[in-house]
Structure formats: C-alpha cells, structure tokens
Structure 1
Amino acid sequence: MDELADDRALLGRTSTAERVADILRTRIAEGFFPPGVRLSEESIGGALGVSRNTLREAFRLLTHERLLVHQLNRGVFVRVLTVDDVDDIYRTRRLVECAVVHGLGEPPFALDGLVDAVEEGWRAARAADWTGVSTANIHFHRELVALAGSARTDELMRGVLAELRLAFHVVDDPRALHEPYLMRNREILDALLAGERATAERLLMGYLDDSRARIVEVYAKAVDEPAAPET
C-alpha cells in the first residue's frame, strides 16, 4: 500500500487536469481555439490559474481524444482534420446513432432533451446565428445518443462530435451547411414523438448519409484536398 500512498498527490492533479480539459474541449468546440492554432501554455495556464504540469496533462488528454496534436519543438496545436478524418467521423456516427435509435424500447421515449435542442436550433436560425444552429445540431445528436442511457456511449460521442466541430470551423458558409438540417432534425423528433422508431431510424440514416456527402465535399474544397470516395 505504500506505493499507492505515493500516488495520492496524482489524484488532485488528475481531477484538475480533467476539469481543464473540459474547459478547453468546450472552447475548441465553440471555435475559440480554431483548427491549426498553437495553444500557449503561458497564456492559458495564467488565465486558468493552473500549473504547467496540470495544463500539460490536460493537453495530453485532449491529444488522446484527437482534438490536439503535439509537434516536436513547436508546441501543441488544435488539430486540422483530413478529409478521411471527416469521413471516418460520419461512419462512426452512423454506426452509433442508428444503433441507438434501433435499440430503443417501447414508446413513449424520454425526448425532452431533443425537443429543447430542436427549439434551440430554430431560435438561433431566426437570429441568423448559424454558429448557434451548428451548436444546437450537435446538442440534438448528443441528446439522441443519450437515449441509450450509456455513459460509455455518451463519452465516445462527446469526442466524436467535438472532432466534427473542427471541420465545421473551416467551412466559410455555415448557413448553407447547417440550415437544411433544421427541418430534418424536426422530422426525426416528430417520428420519435409518434412512437415510430423505424421511421426515425430511416430518416436518421438518410440524414447522416446526406450530411456526410455534403460536409466531405465542402470540407475537401476548404482544405484543398480530394474528397473521400463514396463507400
């Protein structure tokens, strides 16, 4: 037990590092730190009032989540996705999100979170806040996955959706990218409200396939990289 006692100090530091990682993850998802930007240990550590060791642990956690990348002798940067990354994100989303809807039990479903996310999206659209529409869309799909009642699935999708935001920040016309999916989110919600799980799953599959094709095309042009082939 003496060896474990020696590790006691790590508990507080790890907990703090995880909280710092949560803050930075949110800021990255919101575009405060855009793809390609270097993260300054001095300025971030000073702003958050944490030690360099704690901040480096937070960076390590986010590097493991593929949100950051360490470049030797240069520092830590917000990751710039490749087109293959974006394509893989959508393959993962289709596997997880469709499986969640397929595996729902008998209606009625607990849909308050989805209702709030849809309303959030329309409010943002009325205000011409297209970044807000993007955020509401992420919230919708996060709440959809939460219907599985699985902390592990929630954690997986938190990272996947945070990565997806890195792609959104590179696109220069967020309205064209996000506006078409406001109504499609509403259609999926309406199907679930009606207890029509199979219809919701079909709508979701089409949504994700269309979104994948559109975002891969737009992202490839933004980063000047060939789009991934259809599979």
Structure 2
Amino acid sequence: MNNVVADLSQDRPRLGRSSTAERVADILRDRISEGFFRPGQRLSEESISEALGVSRNTLREAFRLLGHEGLLEHKLNRGVFVRLPSVEDALDLYRVRRVLEGAAVRRRPSEQAMTVIREAVRDAERAAEQDDWQRVGTANIRFHQALVTLNDSPRLDETMRQLLAELRLVFHVMDNPREFHEPFVDRNRTLLGLIEAGRPDEAAAYLDDYLDHAEKLLVQAYEPNR
C-alpha cells in the first residue's frame, strides 16, 4: 500500500456508522483537491477499500460517482484511473468560475467567510515561504472555495467543490508548479484587500483579469500536447 493510500486510513472517522458511497466519494474528491492523487494514477480497489474500511462494492459505487464528475475513468481490463481533464474541460471550468466567483465577490461578505478567506491567503503565503508549491495549490483551492461561500448557497458550494477537484487535476499539466502558483499568492492578497475595503465592482473586475491570467497559463501548458 503506498503512502498516499495508507494515509486514507486517517479518514475512516468521516465515514461514521453508515459507510455510504457518497461519503467515500467525498473523501476521495477532497484528496484529489489536495493534490494527493495525480492524473493517470491507477486506484487500487484493494488498498483503498482496506484503508477506508469499506466494501469493494461501496468503493466501486464511489468510483462511479466520481467518474460522472469527470475525475476518474474506467479503462477496460485495466482498472480505474485518475482522469486528466482536456483543455476544453479547463476552458469550461473557467467559464463556470467566472459566473460563480464573479457573483460572490459582489456580495457583502460575512465575517465568518472572511475568516476562512484570510486564513487561506495566509496558508498560501506560509507555504510559498517554505517552497511547498503543492500546499500553495491546496491553499489556493480553499481560497476560491471560500469565495463562493459568499453567495450563501449550499448548492453553489457543492458545485464549486466538485469543480475545484477537477481544476486541481488541470493544475498538474504545469511543468513548473512554482511558476504557475507564485503570481497568485500576491493576487489573492490583492483580491482579499478589495473585498475587505468594500469595493465589489473593483473586486469583480480584478477577478476577471485574475481568471484570464490563470486560464492563459493553463492553455499554454496544454499546447504541446494538443
């Protein structure tokens, strides 16, 4: 059992007494968002079911759910693999982000949401100082998830959660994670400042430019493989 899969055993308490496929899918989705699973990686039914303490049937149902979300793919006679989204997927993800996050930064933020957003910014800055760019990427994912909570919609929160897991897989096309993530450490701080200052129109305009910047970098990274 590799270290990544072995680490899943820590997530057993999240399953509670009723080990449902949805909860298993939640755990695996979170791990994808945190960068623990990479595109092309084969997922072992035996290792993961043992680590989580669930049946293989439950795990297969979780795999099926994540397959519908575009995170996993089943290859005939080979098994289940983490999927690499296409450049078209990446472009569509950014279309959705512009809608969800653009609406969010125009709303009056709650102090609870702002606390989470500030902490994500600080986590990214600390990780950057330690040259830990996987952790920077994870903090960035949390930052954008927290932004969407400003919409005050559990449905949009869940949509964003699924979207960001797929986006984390997109990030893996970058050969140099530092080159990709580093500019957005400062940009997150600037966007936070605009929200804190109560300047929603400027925050929305800045976010548009921010997302254009990130999208352009990702598309360029896909180019050699297109």
Give structure 1 stretches of 5+ with no counterpart.
1-11, 226-231
2:71 to 51, 67, 83: 67
2:207 to 204, 220, 227: 204
Alpha-carbon shift at residue 146 of structure 1 (Å): 0.7
User: AA paired with 2:71?
Assistant: L
User: AA paired with 2:24?
Assistant: V
2:132 to 129, 133, 151: 129
Q: Is the 8 A contact 1:14 1:54 kept in 2?
A: no
Give structure 2 stretches of 5+ with no counterpart.
1-15
Alpha-carbon shift at residue 13 of structure 1 (Å): 9.7
Alpha-carbon shift at residue 40 of structure 1 (Å): 1.5
Alpha-carbon shift at residue 14 of structure 1 (Å): 7.6
Structure 2 residue 82 is the aligned partner of structure 1 residue 78? yes
Write the distance in 1 (CA, Å) between the matches of 2:151 and 2:109: 13
CA pair 107-139 structure 1, distance change in 2 beyond 3 A: closer
Write the distance in 2 (CA, Å) between the matches of 1:70 and 1:219: 23
- Give TM-score, length-normalised by structure 2: 0.87
Write the distance in 2 (CA, Å) between the matches of 1:151 and 1:106: 15
Which residue of structure 2 lines up, in the alignment, with residue 3 of structure 1? Answer: none
User: AA paired with 1:189?
Assistant: L
Report the secondary structure of 1:69's partner residue: strand
Q: Is the 8 A contact 1:83 1:216 kept in 2?
A: yes
Structure 2 residue 215 is the aligned partner of structure 1 residue 217? no
CA-to-partner distance for each residue in 1:45-66, whole Å, 9 max, x for gaps?
Answer: 1222211111111111111211
CA-to-partner distance for each residue in 1:61-87, whole Å, 9 max, x for gaps?
Answer: 111211111223322111111111111
Which residue of structure 2 lines up, in the alignment, with residue 20 of structure 1? Answer: 24
Which residue of structure 2 lines up, in the alignment, with residue 187 of structure 1? Answer: 190
Write the distance in 2 (CA, Å) between the matches of 1:129 and 1:107: 30
Moved more, 173-182 or 212-221: 212-221
1:32 to 30, 36, 43: 36
1:171 to 171, 174, 185: 174
RMSD: 2.0
User: AA paired with 2:159?
Assistant: L
Write the distance in 2 (CA, Å) between the matches of 1:44 and 1:147: 35
Write the distance in 1 (CA, Å) between the matches of 2:198 and 2:111: 6
Q: Is the 8 A contact 2:113 2:149 kept in 1?
A: no
Q: Is the 8 A contact 1:124 1:130 kept in 2?
A: yes
CA pair 131-108 structure 1, distance change in 2 beyond 3 A: closer
CA pair 199-37 structure 1, distance change in 2 beyond 3 A: same
Q: Is the 8 A contact 1:107 1:195 kept in 2?
A: no
2:93 to 50, 72, 89: 89
CA-to-partner distance for each residue in 1:97-152, whole Å, 9 max, x for gaps?
Answer: 102223x1488894111111111111011111111111111111110001111100
Which residue of structure 2 lines up, in the alignment, with residue 117 of structure 1? Answer: 120
CA pair 15-173 structure 1, distance change in 2 beyond 3 A: same
- Give TM-score, length-normalised by structure 1: 0.85
Q: Is the 8 A contact 2:69 2:162 kept in 1?
A: yes
Write the distance in 1 (CA, Å) between the matches of 2:172 and 2:191: 25
